[in-house]
């Protein structure tokens, strides 16, 4: 199945609210557990991390709860998502630990701050040009640890339908639609390996971690 790109930013208020209210406990907890296993042992006890494409900041919040001595710069290009992120931060009481920044990946630079960790969940498949992410990481200051998680594009429409029915059953129509579009917009394992080679990031490891997710990590 050929890749079908989707919009890069979630700018719709209804869409942002649906994501903020959705139950992502299972995949987001899985993200944190995989991050710990992959790069957690290399992280210092305290420092600064950056979350690229933070959305409603749920993973930034979960990260700080696991690493309470860290501060996170949470970046997203969609103002509607950051409105929901601000609400979540207030509710969590972690506003002092997480700094929300409205900026798109093509405007982001990680070369002016020392980060111990770059992490991102489900940003890559939104990008029309994936090299924006890899070049951003390549140009980061001080060689931080990297942990990226994203979807894997299925081989055909039948597999897309199966995954939507399995993992978005009972969800609002807007989430089912977006999950379907995201699966079609995702990259394959081989495509990502080629991207990393082109970016000079062949040292990053690419691993399949579920029937719909892969990770890219240092």
Q: DSSP of 23-69, one letter per residue?
A: --HHHHHHHHHHHHHHTGGGS-SSEEEEEET-TTSHHHHHHHHHSTT
Weakly modelled stretches of the chain, pLDDT under 70: 8-13, 15-23
**3-class secondary structure, 83:** helix
Q: Is 100 part of a structural domain of the chain?
A: yes
pLDDT of residue 171: 85
Alpha-carbon gap, residue 44 to 179, rounded angstroms: 35
pLDDT at 19: 63
Check if the beta carbon of residue 38 is closer than 8 Å to that of residue 70: no
Nearest residue to 34 (alpha-carbon basis) of 92, 121, 153, 140: 121
What's the burial of 117, exposed, middle or buried (CB within 10 Å: 0-12/13-18/19+)?
buried
| Residue 136 belongs to some domain of the structure | yes
Q: Mark 19-37 as b/e (b = at least 16 C-beta within 10 Å).
A: bbeeebeebbeebbebbee
What's the pLDDT at 8? 64
Asked, for residue 24, whether it belongs to a domain, the answer is: yes
108 within 8 A of 135, measured Cβ to Cβ:
no
Give a yes or no: residue 3 inside a domain.
Answer: no
What total number of domains does the chain contain? 1
Residues paired with residue 151 on neighbouring β-strands, in sequence order: 213
Tell me how far CA of residue 187 lies from CA of 32, 103, 107, 184, 202, in angstroms: 22, 23, 22, 8, 17
Full domain range(s) for residue 137: 13-217
| Residues 52/73, Cβ–Cβ less than 8 Å | no
DSSP state of 187: B
- Strands, sheet with 98-102, edge to edge from the N-terminal-most edge strand: 98-102, 70-76, 47-52, 117-121, 145-151, 213-217, 205-208
Q: Which helix (H) or strand (E) holds 157?
A: helix 157-167
Distance CA 119, CA 43 (A): 13
CATH of residue 102 = 3.40.50.150
Note the pLDDT of residue 156: 97
| 22 occurs within a structural domain | yes
Distance CA 141, CA 85 (A): 26
Q: Considering the domain boundaries, does residue 8 fall inside one?
A: no
Query: Do the domain assignments include residue 34?
Result: yes
Position 115 scores a pLDDT of 96
Give the pLDDT score at 72.
98
pLDDT of residue 20: 57
Amino acid 12: pLDDT: 64
> CA-CA distance, 187 to 207, in Å (whole number)?
13
pTM: predicted TM-score of the whole model, two decimal places: 0.93
Q: Residue 2: inside a domain, yes or no?
A: no
Whole-number pLDDT of residue 26 = 86
């Amino acid at each position: 199945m050929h890749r079908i790109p989707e919009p890069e930013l979630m700018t719709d208020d209804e869409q942002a609210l649906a994501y903020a209210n959705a139950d992502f406990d299972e995949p987001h907890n899985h993200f944190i557990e995989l991050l710990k296993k992959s790069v957690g042992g290399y992280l210092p006890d305290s420092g600064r991390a950056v979350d690229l494409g933070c959305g409603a900041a749920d993973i930034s919040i979960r990260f700080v709860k696991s690493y309470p001595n860290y501060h996170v710069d949470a970046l997203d290009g969609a103002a509607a998502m950051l409105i929901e992120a601000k609400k979540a931060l207030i509710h969590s009481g972690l506003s002092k630990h997480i700094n929300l920044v409205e900026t798109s990946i093509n405007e982001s630079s990680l070369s002016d701050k020392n980060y111990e960790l770059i992490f991102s969940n489900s940003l890559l498949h939104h990008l029309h040009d994936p090299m924006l992410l890899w070049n951003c990481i390549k140009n980061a200051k001080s060689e931080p640890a990297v942990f990226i998680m994203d979807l894997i594009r299925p081989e055909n429409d039948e597999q897309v339908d199966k995954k939507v029915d399995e993992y978005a059953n009972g969800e609002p129509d807007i989430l089912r639609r977006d999950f379907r579009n995201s699966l079609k917009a995702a990259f394959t394992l081989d495509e990502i390996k080629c991207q990393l080679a082109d970016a000079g990031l062949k040292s990053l490891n690419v691993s399949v971690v579920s029937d719909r997710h892969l990770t890219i990590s240092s």
